[in-house]
Amino acid sequence: MSDFDAFAYLESRRFLNSLRQICDDRGRLALWIVFTCAIGFTIFVRIVSPPLRQPFELHNPMATFIGCAALALVGLIAAIGSHGGFLAGRLDGSAEVRFLATSALSARLVGSWLLWRHIFGVLPRSVPSMLIVVISFGWGHPVQSLLSLIMLTMVMAPLPLLAYLLTRRLGRASVLAVCIALAFFAGIVATSVIAAHQPRTMAIVEPFAGYFESIVGGAIIALWTGSGAAQTMLFVLAIAVAILCMSGMTDLYPELYTSALRLTHVRALGKRALSAPHPLFTQRQSQRSTPFSGVWVAIWMELLNLRLPNIRMIFFSSFAIAGGVGIIDGLLTRHESHPGGAFFFSGFFALVAVFQMSAASIANTVVKPLWWIGAGSTFAKLVAWTLAGAMSVSIVLATGVFAATATAQLPLRETLSCVAAAFVLPPLIRAVALATYAFFPRAVDRRGPAGALRTLLTVASLMPLGITGTIAYVASDHSLFATFIATTLIIAVEGSMCILIAAHKIEGNGAAYAL
């Protein structure tokens, strides 16, 4: 019996049992079939039909900017990964580590298997993005794009792991310093490229400008145009990263176990709003310690969560990234040389925010008896839950929008209107996510076709907002203030309706709804 036999058995059973779970539920099965057929049909049509239009032409300095931004991202990912907190990403909880630690399997083989499971676990999440690119823009051949995507995933997915493994050899401080230096330097080059159309404007990057343009920019252009040599190099890089990781994957059980426990802990902490014992029971006590009382202690709980190191790190990282993206966006808009770039960056991050928020679940809150014991109607509790949970996203989004509008040098009134609009949008998305959760409450529906459907519904729910905003903007003779008032009204009405629907569904089912 070989070591591979055990892994083959484990993975095949996991796959078959998840398939069995899908087949046991006819509604979910139908959703999967429709989703698979839709993707298959689209790929087929895309392969047999000619490209929709000519591919974009990519030149320097935009190519250098994209390459440097990617390098900055690599530095950031590696810096965060050097902490070791992401080791457990693809583990089936701490149970898996215990079973593996007791087994007679080679530790290196276990490590390598976890690495490949991680890579292939990340891939399905990237495939829809690739499909959007290939289908919408008619760029490249689907098979070629898929291969590039697989190789890019092979390079990027193991980065946190590689960074952590390097810390064991070189020390955490040195690895962290290198990663931060890379992120910082690449970020400066990327910003300077966009700020002045060429990288020579900043003294700090001047000596390297030519290298950046020829190496980084050249590599991006080669990949963009589908150069065989560039793809081969990417493949070699992917294999090198995998070999480096596999060579260091020994004696990792303690770190894997700790990481798995930490992941469980962080997930539980991230979903514990409204579950604190005393404020919901004793309003007097909550009034002494916080200005929030009744259902509104949810906001206080969110603020308390910021004291936790992991939550605080995520919040401030998002804050910094939003600010950075906003500045880049503002620069692109101000120079009006890369309007497509401005759209790409703001659009990309807005999509990420919508995807993340559309998967929101209240399961871990309603499952607790305290939720039901606490004072206030279900509707009021859900309103508080929606506002409290959206608060941090609102702050981050408003920061990004403020950075963008300020950098683009928009007038003060317009800047403030845009910031206010950014502040009220996340509660609506969260309210819609709550309503869709009420229809798809199972944890498995946060991913897969039901997850995609929830995202689609969330995006569709923004249409009334867009239509009203456009009408108000035109009717009010381009007044951003009037547009803001009209859209806020729509947000309040639509959000309330979504919460009402969710309250009705959840009330009728009790705590069992979350199980």
Give the interface with other proteins as residue ranges (CB under 8 A). Answer: 1, 5-6, 9-10, 13-14, 17-18, 21, 92-105, 107, 250-251, 253-255, 257-258
Decide whether 97 or 131 has the Cβ nearer to other proteins. 97
Q: Least distance to other proteins from the beta carbon of 443, Å? A: 9
Per-residue exposure over 435-467, b if at least 16 CB sit within 10 Å of its own CB, e if not: bbbbebbeeebbebbbbbbbbebbeebbeebee
Nearest approach in angstroms of CB 281 to other proteins is: 24
Helix axes 142-156, 26-48, angle to 10 degrees: 120
Distance (Å, whole) CA 232 – CA 223: 10
Question: Residue 306: CB partners within 8 Å, gap ≥ 6?
Answer: 312, 315, 392
Shortest distance in whole angstroms from residue 1 CB to other proteins: 5
CB of 351 to other proteins, least distance (A): 29
* Torsional sign, CA 331, 346, 400, 464: positive
Residue 28 or 338 having the CB closest to other proteins: 28
Residue type, 180: I
Residue type, 99: F
Residue 92 or 206: the one with the smaller Cβ distance to other proteins is: 92
The residue among 27, 129, 125 whose CA lies nearest residue 359 is 125
- CB closer to other proteins out of 98 and 267: 98
What is the closest distance, in whole angstroms, from the C-beta atom of residue 271 to other proteins in the complex? 17
Q: What does R_g of the chain's alpha carbons equal in angstroms? A: 25
- Given the complex with other proteins, which of 104 and 412 has the nearer CB atom? 104
Closest to other proteins by CB, 9 vs 184, is 9
| Beta carbon of residue 179, minimum distance to other proteins (angstroms, whole number) | 23
Interatomic CA distance for residues 302 and 434, integer angstroms: 17
- In order, the DSSP letters of 311-346 are HHHHHHHHHHHHHHHHHHHHHHHHH-S-HHHHHHHH
Give me the least distance between CB of 485 and other proteins, in Å please.
48
Find the shortest distance in angstroms from Cβ 104 to other proteins: 5
The answer to whether residues 112 and 165 touch, using CB atoms and an 8 Å cutoff, is no
Closer Cβ to other proteins, 185 or 253, answer by number: 253
Write the DSSP string, 108-165.
Answer: HHHHHHHHHHHHHHHHHHHHHHHHHHHHHH--S-HHHHHHHHHHHHHHHTTHHHHHHH
Alpha carbon distance 178, 21 (integer Å): 45
Which tokens go with 435?
A: 């309503």
Closer of 10 and 147 to other proteins (Cβ) = 10
In whole angstroms, the minimum distance from the beta carbon of 293 to other proteins comes to: 32
Q: For 408-462, where are the alpha helices, taking DSSP H only?
A: 412-439, 448-461
Which residue shows structure tokens 């484990």? 10
Comparing CB distances to other proteins, the nearer of 15 and 137 is: 15
- Residue 5 burial (CB < 10 Å; 0-12/13-18/19+)? exposed
Q: How far is the CB of 493 from other proteins (least distance, A)?
A: 39
Shortest Å, Cβ 109 to other proteins: 11
Provide the minimum distance between the beta carbon of 5 and other proteins in the complex, in angstroms, as a whole number. Answer: 6
Q: Are the C-beta atoms of 437 and 362 separated by less than 8 Å? A: yes
109 versus 244: smaller Cβ distance to other proteins: 109
Residue closer to other proteins, measured from CB, 6 or 433: 6
- 262 and 183 in contact (C-beta within 8 Å)? no
Between 6 and 119, name the residue whose CB sits nearer to other proteins.
Answer: 6
